[in-house]
Amino acid sequence: MRPVTTDLGVAACLVEKNKILLVKEGKGPQNGLWGLPKGSVDEGELPQLAVKRELREECGIDVEVQGLVGLRECLIKETPAIFIAYLVNSINPVIEIDNDEITDYGWFELQDFETLSWISEAMKELAKKSVTNYDGEMIDYTEKRGRNYFLYL
């Protein structure tokens, strides 16, 4: 397999009591828009570990990944752009947002979605799936394989 330059991003779908955690972007082209906590994958980092890092940086919480909610793919300036959304559970539920990146956060039910200005329709659909019909699972083969190794079904 040959390597391909890719824009790789991740998002966290944290659902508690039928409400999902959403954040309001504080800068850049998405300033003022709502979406899932998200970020980019660093070189040499697994996407699953990146979603944990991003939630810690943006919201001050630690999470465990439960599975894969969905994936968005497109081309941006002729570069494949892959965005992976994970279902997560919080280990420490106290949220402390990073005001440099995020200006607000909230817990939203499905019926609230239509009142929000979303980053994208794709982000809204990923949030919707995580609240209404997530049915995946993650199998962790890390110990057996001797390295980070995860399967999503």
Q: What is the pLDDT along the chain (153 residues), one digit of tens a residue?
A: 888 899 999 999 999 999 999 999 998 899 999 999 999 999 999 999 999 999 999 999 999 999 999 999 998 899 999 999 999 999 987 899 878 889 999 999 999 999 999 999 999 999 999 999 888 888 889 999 999 898 988
Contacts 24+ apart (CB under 8 A), 25-32: 25/101, 25/102, 25/103, 25/119, 26/99, 26/100, 26/101, 26/102, 26/103, 27/100, 27/101, 30/119, 32/103, 32/117
Q: Considering its fold, how many domains does the chain have in total?
A: 1
Q: What's the length of the chain? A: 153
Kindly list the distances between the CA atom of residue 54 and the CA atoms of 51, 61, 111, in Å, as whole numbers in the listed order. Answer: 5, 9, 27
Sign of CA dihedral 114, 119, 120, 126: negative
- Domain that includes residue 131, residue range: 7-152
Residue 109 lies in a domain: yes
Residue 78 lies in a domain: yes
Residue 1 lies in a domain: no
Residue 45 lies in a domain: yes
Domain of 74, CATH number, reads 3.90.79.10
| Residue 46 three-state SS | coil
Residue 120 lies in a domain: yes
Residue from 77, 82, 86 nearest 7 by CA: 82
